[in-house]
Structure 1
């Protein structure tokens, strides 16, 4: 890595800031009718006349003056009260400055009128369980992880593959190429997960099916015998929990396989209860399939009997697998965005709330995560799905920043190659999507650098150095980091099917220990810092080739710098670090250096640097801060 000698760029610490973290919001989950204290920090150089809070109550905006409560060397802190009159209460700040006013919302500061879509939000809905904020989720595609059963007989639909075979990328056999991985194989390698620092094991479907991915279930009543059956899942769950980890299942609430017991009964008898479980048409093949796939008939939740069997109550499919001996700690829901939606019917939110109520009845600490490949905002108010797979707000923007300029990897779901974009464009996209969901939802969204449906990260970026930059974002950005098994050892693949490679337990040529060491170090970094797990997010530098941000709690501030290439560097104000504090380097080789005018961010790259710039309580009120200058207003 070579430093660039050039004029240092500006920073964003001169802008007012608010987010939904504990530093700025007194009560993250208030009761209806409760008053919540919200704080906003305004840099001392802005010379504002005052600050007002704009709250929307019963669809009508109301303004009230915020109170100046503290002045520090760097900021003035204002407080205001938000009455939570509606289950979802939105608000933003008006900053009164010379020559006009500006609006501060989730996307930033604006000197023009803005819509309510990106306003900050308080909700009365309980967030995802606290354990998810501190957990690395490890996704396992059972057929490709490890073989534990040596004498299994493959079904007639399967095409046997050797463990070292390269997966098919497209065409005939993609879904029937079977390697024979199973749940006892997962059990045998749990120590690898412990060494990596995994907190949650997420298994793609384990129900019997006629494909290697098993999203075409033929039953929800048993574990596929090819995977070891019910006993294997119970044994795995027990072993996972004994190691202090959790385990999540994967369920298709949107559809079944064409060979499912329910669909077989529905086709055989028009008067059967199961007949109402599906959508029927006069066109071939006579029923509605997911994305017109005849192998995946779509479920119709206007049928009360389907609701009872699938999602409502302890005896439902959702419920029974959360209870002992399987004791799943929650579900990832396949194509959740389409569940209950067809033509003029939209039951998605009702279904999500029902699933969540069923889970809470059995395990109040269970988590519910929705698959959603595009804009999940309208579905993520927090009363149904706890979080979503964050492709739109994290995966896609990050990919576009870290992708190798010479890469031919296609953009997922689009008829074009993945473009390489600037840090400014990446951050703009992230802020756009993050701002339309409540903070406590954003703070637990599943952030990923790949999954069983995408190309592999190493193929996308081309080098270990850029894998580290991408992983640095994954482990320091708000949300729950999710890792697809194999990424931690440098697995490669050009698309979702091709990326479903086997774990090379006995093949050192396919096992990149240096990559594993990077992921293990970043997992340890995150787990050792409250700020990185639950802190707020304040952007500090956003340039083409580098971004930096602060993660902050009331008791800790961590500065993160990620660079994809050498850049100009930046000078940050001296007040960033409280008097007497020596910034501690938590990750990377460069110290945060002091100059007469402030702190210098290094212009080296590619690289990841993390510093703890504060480990004491931040004074934000009149009882602990410097005396507020009330005359300022």
Structure 2
């Protein structure tokens, strides 16, 4: 039969392997490990650290499939008690073999050397993020480019702006001074008018980039945090948007820049005007009167989060910016934090995690179920552990590996912050990348982080992959791997863009004939599938088969498992041992073997059935696409 990965020892942070998923401090957690019945494991220990001192806890064998009845493909289940002494508890498994062989199982996989703790499994006793954040399908709107209401025609264009007609081409070269100034005039009432389109996609969270005034089309250079930009309709329009979103049972997420303001911000003008005033310490001024700013852009002066006055105004307490917008009449449900990776970091100063902890606590003091997501495009692990951001925009653990698997080598799409194009990589490297980043970020943070195929800061996925079919493969991965799908408005109809600025094209509401309806229907079908199957939201992840062009994986959950096959190119059938797919007897009932698998969805054509024959499950041959089955 075909090579598969189901003989590998397996554990993850889902309910099948960790009970409870969210422990109270001081209480033990039941931890389960699955090994292959043919793997001569004689003993298993949990290695954890108690106040940073390594300690070992023996695991017990609690279930074993009969090797003969299972054709030698069954499982052995081990259980151990993991004490949750520290707020974030790291652990790994030590496997002892009959031949004296010793192996470690970490969250990044099995190793036969003493690997560092960075890839250990971890469990947190901090309060979990709100469940709606994990269940979400997020839709990102860049207000200037989404939709114009009739009221937009009555507004005067500000002096800083370069006005553009809705169908004009976007100026997207960063060296062109018009790039941040080109104003198309989208507004918040325009968003309200198109919420039916958003809801029809199965979206549950509307996330808009900043709505505060700023002398740019992106508004990340805020001139105040005390009101909504009149160009978007002002405070009243934001209230109308909030009411319309919540009436539909959706959530509204704001976008807040904690790293910097604009140089026209009232705080910064006061700091410039009075070098001896209390507001001077709110920014990172140098001895010569100059100031630190974001990536050398003088219009984006950096905030100093070591200053108590700045913290009180921005992040701490009920009157802070973080808190005020979460109360009526706006009722924002949480924040996406812009430049979260740099906030509070400057040279030897690093209070970034303290800022994350403070924002989270302040938001949840206003709304106990508030969500905070930090922008980060590389290793966010130190800001996510325990009580930091609930999750991140998962570029490293999702976007980049998907891009590298599906990239059309002829695509003009530009790499995100790299001097070279994203390379096209084979399946094993893609799976390894995802596994390592899941280990680095931790299971909880991974499952609340956003699976993004692109954003207002990157090329569009359609341009990167070069075809509707490959775009739908990417969407299939986005909705079936652990994490929260986030669509950038226009993804669903096949909008293109070679970089972040070009990706901010206007929504072609008056040209519906140009929409990719098949892809739009695929997104809606994937959202329905995710809502209907707990395994796709709360299930574990076990890799079953990986080759250059094929990824087959299981999302396992006590309520039932889902099998996914993603192909970037046509491939042959893949055989998997059915006994290795059975769920364990967690409640004293018999183990649940694979019964009659049901096809659920295919991104191309009709989903072909799985065939179980002689103890083997056959994933059928097929072309490029993603197919999902219920086991």
TM-score tier after normalising by the smaller chain length: over 0.9
The reply to whether residue 112 of structure 1 matches residue 113 of structure 2 is yes
Aligned to 2:559: 555
Aligned to 2:585: none
Question: Quick one: structure 1 residues 580 and 293, their matched pair in 2 at CA, closer, same or farther if it must change by over 3 Å?
Answer: closer
- The partner residue of 1:233 within 228, 231, 238 is 238
Distance of 2:502 and 2:410 partners within structure 1: 20
Alpha-carbon contact 2:578-2:594 (below 8 Å) kept: no
Aligned to 2:599: 585
Distance of 1:416 and 1:123 partners within structure 2: 38
Residue 596 (structure 1) shift = 2.8
Aligned to 2:163: 160
**What secondary structure does 1:536 align onto?**
coil
Q: Alpha-carbon deviations, 1:389-439, whole Å to 9, x = none?
A: 100110011100011132232221011122111111111111111102231
RMSD: 1.3
State how many pairs are aligned.
605
Q: How does 1:562-581 map to 2 (within 5 A)?
A: 562-575=566-579, 576=581, 578-579=592-593, 581=595
The reply to whether residue 278 of structure 1 matches residue 283 of structure 2 is yes
Q: How does 1:202-601 map to 2 (within 5 A)?
A: 202-282=207-287, 286-575=290-579, 576=581, 578-579=592-593, 581-588=595-602, 589-601=607-619
Tell me which moved more, 109-118 or 76-85. Answer: 109-118
What runs of 5+ residues in structure 2 fail to find an aligned partner?
583-591
**What secondary structure does 1:471 align onto?**
helix
Residue 509 (structure 1) shift = 4.3
Aligned to 1:172: 177
Distance of 1:433 and 1:605 partners within structure 2: 29
Tell me which moved more, 256-265 or 26-35. Answer: 26-35
Give the number of the structure with larger relative contact order, counting CA–CA contacts within 8 Å between residues 6 or more apart: 1
- The partner residue of 2:626 within 597, 608, 614 is 608
**What secondary structure does 2:628 align onto?**
strand
Q: Alpha-carbon deviations, 1:566-596, whole Å to 9, x = none?
A: 1243210132365572100011221112233
Alpha-carbon contact 1:22-1:553 (below 8 Å) kept: yes
Distance of 1:228 and 1:581 partners within structure 2: 56
Aligned to 1:12: 5
Q: Alpha-carbon deviations, 1:463-507, whole Å to 9, x = none?
A: 111011100100001111100000000000000000101111111
Residue 338 (structure 1) shift = 0.6
Distance of 2:10 and 2:615 partners within structure 1: 23
Tell me which moved more, 98-107 or 589-598. Answer: 589-598
Tell me which moved more, 142-151 or 222-231. Answer: 142-151
What runs of 5+ residues in structure 1 fail to find an aligned partner?
1-7, 614-633
Distance of 1:90 and 1:255 partners within structure 2: 34
Distance of 2:156 and 2:432 partners within structure 1: 52
Aligned to 1:628: none
- The partner residue of 1:65 within 58, 63, 85 is 58
The reply to whether residue 151 of structure 1 matches residue 154 of structure 2 is yes
**What secondary structure does 2:154 align onto?**
coil
Aligned to 2:122: 121
Distance of 2:223 and 2:398 partners within structure 1: 34
TM-score by length of 2: 0.94
**What secondary structure does 2:57 align onto?**
strand
Distance of 1:301 and 1:347 partners within structure 2: 7
Residue 597 (structure 1) shift = 4.9
Distance of 1:580 and 1:445 partners within structure 2: 31
Give the ranges of 4+ consecutive aligned residues of structure 1 lying more than 3 Å apart after TM superposition: 577-580
The reply to whether residue 84 of structure 1 matches residue 84 of structure 2 is yes
Aligned to 2:102: 101
Alpha-carbon contact 1:408-1:418 (below 8 Å) kept: no
Residue 605 (structure 1) shift = 2.0
Q: Alpha-carbon deviations, 1:354-375, whole Å to 9, x = none?
A: 1111111110101000000111
The reply to whether residue 23 of structure 1 matches residue 24 of structure 2 is no
Q: Alpha-carbon deviations, 1:233-258, whole Å to 9, x = none?
A: 01110110010000000001000000
Q: Alpha-carbon deviations, 1:180-213, whole Å to 9, x = none?
A: 0000000001000111111000010000000000
Distance of 1:505 and 1:407 partners within structure 2: 26
**What secondary structure does 2:171 align onto?**
coil
**What secondary structure does 2:617 align onto?**
strand
The reply to whether residue 188 of structure 1 matches residue 202 of structure 2 is no
Distance of 1:109 and 1:327 partners within structure 2: 46
Alpha-carbon contact 1:123-1:438 (below 8 Å) kept: no
Alpha-carbon contact 1:247-1:328 (below 8 Å) kept: yes
